[in-house]
Structure 1
Amino acid sequence: MSECCKSGFSWDGTPVGKESTLADNKTYVTGSNKDAAVLIVHDVFGWTLPNTRLLADHYAKEANVTVYLPDFFGGEVVSPETMEDPKKREAFNVMEFIGRNSKDIRKPEIFACAKALKSQYGKLGAVGFCYGGWACFQLGAKGNNLVDCISVAHPSLLDEKEIDAVGVPVQICAPETDPQFSPQLKEYANRVIPGLGVPYDYQYFPGLVHGFAIRGDHTYKKQKDGLERAKNAAVYWFNEHLH
């Protein structure tokens, strides 16, 4: 992971959900549907980032789902100010952070949250941004029976084996410039997934960069249009596969 994973912009707005607990993880919850839910696996800025909570509210309202945004970093919080402050970005060692929050460390609790929701709801989707992308692919792997669809935006840490294994409807929102979801990995996904027998929606965003869907600049029209399109694409995906 690199500089693009820790830069971006804060959004205006006040989240309307509440804080609760899911499978022993502190969790932001929004929405009231008792039959369909969405699990968000966050980026490095975690479960408290207002941007992510605002997206959760949007999904809850527009896709008529109850949305859960758990803390998957054991209480460690990266300040949102890091996104726009060069000195704080420089001081934040993202690779050390990922070492503390590796796949092996965080996968069990991500799966525990999905299992808890699957036992409670008839339909469950998962959406992941950056760091959360690999987790959604693992949740949606053949034979897991944990989620009914996944949506990811500019996934990080994703590997070819995770793409090979996906067994549920999958949506990818991919910016043009993304060192994490590289041109080679884009090509691989677009070659392999159509042969897996699952619905596939590949959304391409020319001129945009890694992080746009969760940390894009609302004051810059191209970025604003892109992040609006990405969040509404996810809403369409959830409406299509969770109802």
Structure 2
Amino acid sequence: MSFCENCVKGVTHDGEPKGKWEVINGVNSYVATPTKDYPKDKVLLYLADIFGPQLINNRLLADDFANNGFKTIVPDIFNGDPAPADALTDGSTWDLYQWFGGHGQDKTRPTVDKVLEALKSEGVTSFGVLGYCFGDPADLEKYKSDAKAPLLISSCPVDSQFPLEASEQADKIFADFGPGYKREHFEGCTHGFAVRGDMKDPNVKAGKEGAFKATVEWMIKHL
């Protein structure tokens, strides 16, 4: 997981989250459950951006996935210490890079594993994983060689951690990826658009909604 300046830019969205907080195997998690019948053996595991499920945007987005029939769980992978929401405000002095030093994969992965262990013990056998602000071009080859799950990438033109050349690289690497691969690209957007985008900007609004629609369709097809 790596960061760029756009990791701490964006807009806090309005709304009233409908899910609830639960402790899953010791991990505080936001759980969004469909109101209609849904497959109990399937879960969307939502790995949030650096603001965690504490940021209302992430909870509202989890609710949206639940409204489309997927039980969605957002574990607090930063163990009670996500980036503060006021880091998005102008003039914030919060230090992203100092924070990052104590929130690497050695800290986040054990938390994810605890949640997976608990859900499997409850009978969940299929997981879809949503990663926002997660990943790096260096992960692509490893994913191709080790993973068996189909991969959807939502890219944009302004993203220092996944620039256009990385998108082209991904298309080449996964051109013959057996499980399945697709990349959706959203013009007029910057890193973070799918969670913290300014919905007053028509390009960003179209990108956020387009990325969500593509993800729902992907999960319906593959999960």
What's the TM-score once normalised by structure 1's chain length? 0.83
Identical amino acids, percent of aligned pairs:
31
> Which of 1 and 2 has higher RCO (CA within 8 Å, sep 6+)?
2
What's the TM-score once normalised by structure 2's chain length? 0.90
Contact 1:37/1:66 (8 A) holds in 2: yes
CA deviation digits over 1:146-184, x for unaligned, max 9? xxxxxxxxxx57534433333211100001111011223
TM superposition shift of 1:117: 2.4
2:46 corresponding residue in structure 1: 40
- Rounded to whole Å, the distance in 2 between the matches of 1:128 and 1:241 is 16
TM superposition shift of 1:46: 1.0
2:82 corresponding residue in structure 1: 77
Gaps of 5+ in 2: none
Identify the match of residue 23 of structure 1 among 5, 22, 25.
Answer: 25
2:213 corresponding residue in structure 1: 232
Q: Which has the higher helix share?
A: 1
1:124 corresponding residue in structure 2: 127
TM superposition shift of 1:77: 3.4
2:6 corresponding residue in structure 1: 4
Say if 1:5 and 1:157 are closer, same or farther in 2 by CA, change over 3 A. Answer: farther
* Coordinate RMSD, CA, aligned: 1.7
- Rounded to whole Å, the distance in 1 between the matches of 2:202 and 2:109 is 36
Gaps of 5+ in 1: 135-155
TM superposition shift of 1:185: 2.1
1:162 aligns with 2:142: yes
User: SS at the partner of 2:54?
Assistant: coil
User: SS at the partner of 1:209?
Assistant: coil
**How do 1:76-225 residues align onto structure 2 when only pairs under 5 Å count?**
76-83=81-88, 85-88=89-92, 91-119=93-121, 120-130=123-133, 133-134=134-135, 156=136, 159-164=139-144, 165-225=146-206
User: SS at the partner of 2:174?
Assistant: helix
AA aligned to 2:173 is V
- Rounded to whole Å, the distance in 2 between the matches of 1:204 and 1:14 is 29
- Rounded to whole Å, the distance in 1 between the matches of 2:141 and 2:117 is 22
AA aligned to 2:222 is H
User: After the TM superposition, which segments of 4 or more aligned residues of structure 1 sit over 6 Å from their partners?
Assistant: none
Q: Which has the higher strand share?
A: 1
